[in-house]
Structure 1
Amino acid sequence: MQRLISLISVAILVFFGQSTLNTAKASCTTLSQLDWILGTWQTQPDGNTQETWYKISEDTFSGIGSSRNSAGKLQQQESMRLVQMQSDLFYLAKVGHNSMPIPFRVTKCAENSVTFENPTHDFPNKLVYMRTKNKMHVAVSGFNNKGFDVHYQLASQD
């Protein structure tokens, strides 16, 4: 497991090392500034779409996202990680149709919002998480105005 994390870290550094994003430096420099994302979030009133985030260590949060149909059958699932590497923060998405996690770098960060971007990924290339009290809005977007929004409510604080 440690070897896999090391390989992913090297891939991220190589991938983003030469990348130039046309955005200002993110103001978040530690993962603790994103503690507000921790817990179980689900769509209301059905609860069919859910994200759960756990703190693994000071520099790693682990998440699982899932969608179910109205009968409760699992339709889609992905694992996610938020990792701190030096003064950069990354969102890593692992979905079934990709053999390796897809890295997104934090490009903007405020008290209750964070933007992750990967301008070379086909879709999505931008994820924006925004929290207001016990609600969280996630905007998933790509090129040509392609995208969707998910509105969550905090189900529990894990």
Structure 2
Amino acid sequence: MRWIIGLAAGLVLTGAAAADDPDVAERRAWMEEQGSLAWIEGHWRRESEGRVSEEIWTNGEGGLYLGVNRSIRDGQARAFEYMRIVNTDEGMQYCAQPGGGEAVCFRYWGGEAGFNMETREPFTGQAVFVNPDHDFPQRIVYARDGNELAAIISDMDGENAITFRWTRVEN
């Protein structure tokens, strides 16, 4: 997994992005050009050895994507998380609420490139969110390749990475 995680390792953090920051404007323009994050929408699921993990994302209507994650082991729900991706005056943010607790938000840092999970060829269905002030994770990368979605959480330099993978559920 180091190959997908390493793609954002070269990012250099500067201070918090202001609404008039050219980098923020560039990222917003990229988001609009790419058709937003429509590639994340849908129901995603993985089953393995008595464990089920699923993530469901709404469309971004009104500038807001809503997501929920649920983990099941041996037929019992063990964990859940509420998520949202919203474009604010400060730029796009990903906010997570593990177990329904207080939200921790990460600012959008980029999505210009990624790698196919099998062939390692470039693709564009990716978004990187960062919060260097958070203990762990500090970086969240969502990447889609065909019918597969991955979320990689790590510290800022990509170390201690944990990858979650799901396959799209066709309705």
Under a length normalisation based on structure 1, what TM-score does the superposition of the two structures give? Answer: 0.74
Counterpart in 1 of 2:6?
A: none
Cα offset, 1:88, TM superposition: 1.4
Alignment-mate amino acid for residue 75 of structure 2 = G
Alignment-mate amino acid for residue 129 of structure 1 = Y
Cα RMSD (Å): 2.7
- Quick one: distance in 2 between partners of 1:96 and 1:79? 8
Q: Would you say the 8 A contact 1:44–1:153 is kept in 2?
A: no
Counterpart in 2 of 1:105?
A: 107
- Quick one: distance in 2 between partners of 1:40 and 1:141? 24
Counterpart in 1 of 2:147?
A: 134
Alignment-mate amino acid for residue 87 of structure 2 = Q
Is 1:96 matched with 2:99?
yes
Q: Would you say the 8 A contact 1:29–1:88 is kept in 2?
A: no
Can you list the C-alpha shifts for 1:98-128, whole angstroms capped at 9, x where unaligned?
4x21010110113300001000000101010
Can you list the C-alpha shifts for 1:111-150, whole angstroms capped at 9, x where unaligned?
3000010000001010101111111121111268223101
Q: Report the identity percentage.
A: 23
Unpaired runs of at least 5, structure 1:
1-17
Under a length normalisation based on structure 2, what TM-score does the superposition of the two structures give? Answer: 0.69
* Other structure's SS at 1:19 match: coil
- Quick one: distance in 2 between partners of 1:72 and 1:28? 42
- Quick one: distance in 2 between partners of 1:130 and 1:94? 20
Cα offset, 1:97, TM superposition: 7.7
